């Protein structure tokens, strides 16, 4: 049974705070979503490779395992493409609210992948998240395309998190991060011709950086990807995947507060949006209580 320390949960919240800033960085960078993911993961690959070389970490992975890690990297690439695309089509706040459904997807995906029983309270909390989204969706109908992309990103996020939880049993966080970022960058590059031919209005691929793009890309790749991703993979060794993904539901709160601070009026939403977000956050606070109660209920009582 995985059980993390208070320090692990505190570190997890710090990582979620960092991730809350990624949607903002996506809007600060002039690159479209696909090009952004290509550069983000490419720079991250170089960064984690340099760290591994300096710390003398082994990069050796068997070919079958490399294929598994690379496959997860493709899911991560798609996850981030939909994520940044969602932010561009709606707002950072709407994108982050949609991402809060990650816990609901995890409640179904994790038992299927790990062949365990579905926990009723995880499903209940996931449905609670959906009710919060319905409140948001009812009053923010102008953003339904962006919200739909955020929901797809959330599903992919749940899937690769569960798969990474299994990979951490056999590989170091650095190995996983290195090859996942490399395959994510390669997939984004190979996907560009299809993207340019069928998913744009003829706009050419934007390779050039503009203004402060280089600085924000370094922050995105170095802090939000190499550091945050490696730490999150390591935390999966000690914390339940559902608990991690439920805590990630706090990303909208951190992100929305940061977005309002950075972008001001353009990120301010209706009161119903914040009501829906509040419902989502309550699920985060309820989970530890229900999880503790469920463990106590299953623990045999010792008769003295």
pLDDT tens for residues 191-242?
998 887 776 766 788 888 999 999 999 999 989 888 888 888 788 778 877 6
Q: Is the predicted pLDDT of residue 2 greater than 60, yes or no?
A: no
Q: With respect to residue 288, please indicate whether it lies within any of the assigned structural domains.
A: yes
What pLDDT score was predicted for residue 302?
46
Top mean-pLDDT range of 29-33, 144-148, 199-203: 29-33
The arithmetic mean of pLDDT across residues 122-130, rounded, is 79
Q: Which helix (H) or strand (E) holds 176?
A: helix 173-198
In a domain, 140, yes or no: yes
Identify whether 75 is part of a domain.
yes
Is residue 293 one of the residues assigned to a domain?
A: yes
Is residue 159 within 8 Å of residue 105, measured between CB atoms? yes
39: confidence class by pLDDT, cuts 50, 70, 90: very high
* 205 falls within a domain: no
Would you say residue 218 lies in a domain?
Answer: no
Q: Comparing C-alpha atoms, which of 37, 24, 36 is closest to residue 208? A: 36
pLDDT, the chain, mean: 82
Least confident of 112-116, 161-165, 282-286: 282-286
Confirm whether 24 is domain-assigned.
Answer: yes
pLDDT band at 141 (very low <50, low <70, confident <90, very high): low
- Total number of domains constituting the chain: 1
Name the residue with tokens 């229900």: 290
Mean pLDDT throughout 118-131?
A: 79
Mean pLDDT of 12-19: 87
The residue among 264 and 12 whose pLDDT is bigger is 12
> What's the full length of the chain, in residues?
304
Cα–Cα dist 287/290, whole Å: 5
Question: What is the domain range of residue 166?
Answer: 6-195+234-297
Q: How confident is the model at residue 53 (pLDDT cuts 50, 70, 90)?
A: very high
Residue 213: inside a domain: no
Q: How many CA within 13 A on the CB side of residue 302?
A: 1
pLDDT (0 to 100) of residue 61: 92
Contact between residue 253 and residue 281 where contact means Cβ atoms under 8 Å apart: yes
Is residue 1 pLDDT above 60, yes or no?
A: no
DSSP secondary-structure letter at 267?
G
Long-range contact pairs involving 8-15 (C-beta distance under 8 Å, separation at least 24): 8/235, 8/238, 8/239, 9/239, 9/247, 11/231, 11/235, 12/232, 12/235, 12/239, 12/244, 12/247, 13/247, 13/250, 15/228, 15/231, 15/232, 15/235
CA distances (Å), 12 to each of 15, 21, 209, 223, 250, in order? 5, 15, 32, 14, 11
pLDDT at residue 289 tops 60 = yes
């Amino acid at each position: 049974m995985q059980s993390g320390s208070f320090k692990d949960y505190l570190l997890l919240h710090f990582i979620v705070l960092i991730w809350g800033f990624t949607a903002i960085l996506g809007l600060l960078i002039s690159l479209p979503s696909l090009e952004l993911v290509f550069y983000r993961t490419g720079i991250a690959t170089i960064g984690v490779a340099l760290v591994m070389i300096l710390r003398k970490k082994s990069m050796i992975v068997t070919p079958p395992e490399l294929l598994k890690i690379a496959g997860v990297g493709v899911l991560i690439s798609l996850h981030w493409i939909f994520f940044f695309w969602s932010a561009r089509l709606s707002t950072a706040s709407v994108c982050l609210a949609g991402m809060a459904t990650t816990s609901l997807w995890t409640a179904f995906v994790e038992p299927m992948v790990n062949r365990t029983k579905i926990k009723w309270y995880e499903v209940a909390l996931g449905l609670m998240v959906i009710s919060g989204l319905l409140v948001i969706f009812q009053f923010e109908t102008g953003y339904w395309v962006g919200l739909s992309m955020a929901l797809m990103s959330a599903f992919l996020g749940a899937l690769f998190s569960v798969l990474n939880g299994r990979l951490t049993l056999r590989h170091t966080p650095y190995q996983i991060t290195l090859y996942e970022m490399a395959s994510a960058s390669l997939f984004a590059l190979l996907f560009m011709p299809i993207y340019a031919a069928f998913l744009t209005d003829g706009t050419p691929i934007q390779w050039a950086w503009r203004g402060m793009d280089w600085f924000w890309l370094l922050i995105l790749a170095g802090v939000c990807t190499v550091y945050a991703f490696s730490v999150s993979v390591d935390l999966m060794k000690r914390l339940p995947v559902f608990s991690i993904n439920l805590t990630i539901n706090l990303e909208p709160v951190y992100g929305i507060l940061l977005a309002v601070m950075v972008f001001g009026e353009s990120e301010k939403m209706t009161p119903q949006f914040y009501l829906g977000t509040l419902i989502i956050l309550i699920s985060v606070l309820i989970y530890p209580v229900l999880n503790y109660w469920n463990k106590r209920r299953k623990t045999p009582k010792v008769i003295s």
